[in-house]
Structure 1
């Protein structure tokens, strides 16, 4: 980070961006504290319990946006946010271990900027250095005037910066868009000075003299191994963005859209091409590079969706058939049987029996 320069995450193209489901876990806890229970939270965001079981799971942008919109509407207390002594780092040990073992604060912030996509990919941090200050500006893709998102990111970054402050006297000057939250005095205690609200931008700045002071707890022997761990996790996140994953995610979103008319022939393929701003020929050519075709992805999505509807709802087979765009219930039954070697009604009965057995044993 040199004077008068800006640094941010690389521009992300049309691949399927995601966020860690750990964010949803924290947001669900905040919603519960504001009076919205887990079941209601999941119903309003489209996130289910299974989505949150895998600690390395990722969520698509549509559901993440619903989370942000819900939390914004609830205007929850910020106590849950500023009371987190270690920010989000316990959720992301590889990222935390690497960032907290740098030779200088400058190196630590650089590492955080480089690998923060492990947390999420729908916002940006722009860093500008002057001779006296380091300024961080936060820009969100969803609801950019919602200061709560910026506040959460500044809290995470401030936690990292304080770890490198030997004298423990860092003061953060924070300006946030939007109205002040309840218990705003907690922010003053956390950042060390009064935070400003209703600002034109979300910004945080602090004394740049801390940047290059040697970190006394730096472990040079351990550093290469910690870097390898975070690089591997970052690589796994990036690998989830193949073109086929992007197409599959779009198919899922379109199939789940209540306004989508799946009965029209080739309407699903046309809708995907329209969202990607590409032709059918180009789409199919790119999928062939990965050894797939559109029908493979459509089948996978519709089978997964059918299984979920059969397990988790009381929708009739006719209703499920209509939701998934089949011309008739018999066509849906043939499709399901080809994928699961059993009729959909049999699958539903077996799922109910399995669920009852689990409840009994519990």
Structure 2
């Protein structure tokens, strides 16, 4: 394995899976932060977390990390599911849990870790006695809680290749001990060292080349191909169009005193991106999209949010979203949902 892997890719804006934001929101709620406050602090709406393939841009991911560093994270927020994050990332999980050896599984994890997020660094070093990962965070690097989450995932994967599941990990974390420190020590099999100079996870290198008894050689190349296709989709799919969609959402939520119309929305978007309409349309077309499609998508998401989270009248919502009338808004909503706006609101209020 390489000495250091980075989640950076050149030539596009980096993103992280919205599943990370879901985990963070759940942990923040356990720490006393309401979902509404989480949305306000991070700029991530509940609707954006519904699409399991959705991605979050760098600016809002940073807000999530900084919020979590501020409120503190308890070890009791650890998922109880076996193999940690993999149920939410089945493409990555299938590949990593069907390798000939643990060494190959860890190499696959490092290569395709961007399926989870394209941030931070995960370094690797090996001696005849020990294998060691070092985690370097881009945002809130001194807190240690991001390293803890990554080390839990790695430990879960490593133990999947240890038939006895008794692997002991030596873990060092930057920052002070988190609530439930004893639970963390029990999880890793040894006490965790805090206020360290780096975030490190160490285990016996003898485990690296132990074979996986249930390895499926026929299935393995197909799983890797699937992971490669998914990584390519992320690199190509959630890029310029994602930035445009997020910008449209910002303008619609805060249109200014004069409000907005479709024509002014396009003009404002181009102005903020410092690009021409022709360039904007060309770049969106290269991703198989059109500006009006993104606008409709954002208006629908915002409509769902306003109907679910506010008591604004339909007339007010239709005006805020730039529709010519309430009936026009209702027709728009019905083309994208099986019920009219009021019925949707009633369902949302019933949970």
Whole-angstrom CA distance in 1 between matches of 2:207 and 2:190: 18
Whole-angstrom CA distance in 1 between matches of 2:166 and 2:253: 51
Q: Is 1:17 matched up with 2:9?
A: no
- The residue number in structure 2 matching 1:193 is 190
Using the TM superposition, name which of 41-50 and 91-100 deviates more: 41-50
Of 216, 221, 235 in structure 2, the residue corresponding to residue 238 of structure 1 is 235
Q: Is 1:184 matched up with 2:185?
A: no
- The residue number in structure 1 matching 2:138 is 141
Query: Could you state the TM-score of these two structures normalised by the residue count of structure 2?
Result: 0.78
Using the TM superposition, name which of 175-184 and 304-313 deviates more: 304-313
Aligned runs of 1:251-330 on 2, under 5 Å? 251-253=248-250, 256=253, 266-273=267-274, 283=280, 285-287=282-284, 289-290=286-287, 297=294, 301=298, 305=302, 308-309=305-306, 312-314=309-311
Give the direction of change, closer, same or farther, for the CA distance of 1:96–1:291 in structure 2 (3 Å limit).
closer
Of 125, 129, 132 in structure 1, the residue corresponding to residue 126 of structure 2 is 129
Whole-angstrom CA distance in 2 between matches of 1:32 and 1:334: 39
Whole-angstrom CA distance in 2 between matches of 1:12 and 1:260: 39
Q: Is 1:352 matched up with 2:342?
A: yes
Matched pairs, number: 344
In structure 2, runs of 5+ residues without a counterpart are none
Of 55, 58, 62 in structure 2, the residue corresponding to residue 65 of structure 1 is 62
Deviation at 1:351, TM superposition (A): 1.2
Deviation at 1:116, TM superposition (A): 1.8
Post-superposition CA distance 1:107-142 (Å, at most 9, x none): 000111122222222333122334443221212232
In structure 1, runs of 5+ residues without a counterpart are 325-331
Of 2, 6, 24 in structure 2, the residue corresponding to residue 8 of structure 1 is 6
Of 139, 158, 170 in structure 1, the residue corresponding to residue 155 of structure 2 is 158
Q: Is 1:118 matched up with 2:112?
A: no
Structure 1 residue runs of 4 or more that deviate by more than 6 Å after TM superposition: 257-263, 278-281, 316-324, 335-340, 357-360
- The residue number in structure 1 matching 2:92 is 95
For the residue of structure 2 that corresponds to 1:28, the secondary structure is helix
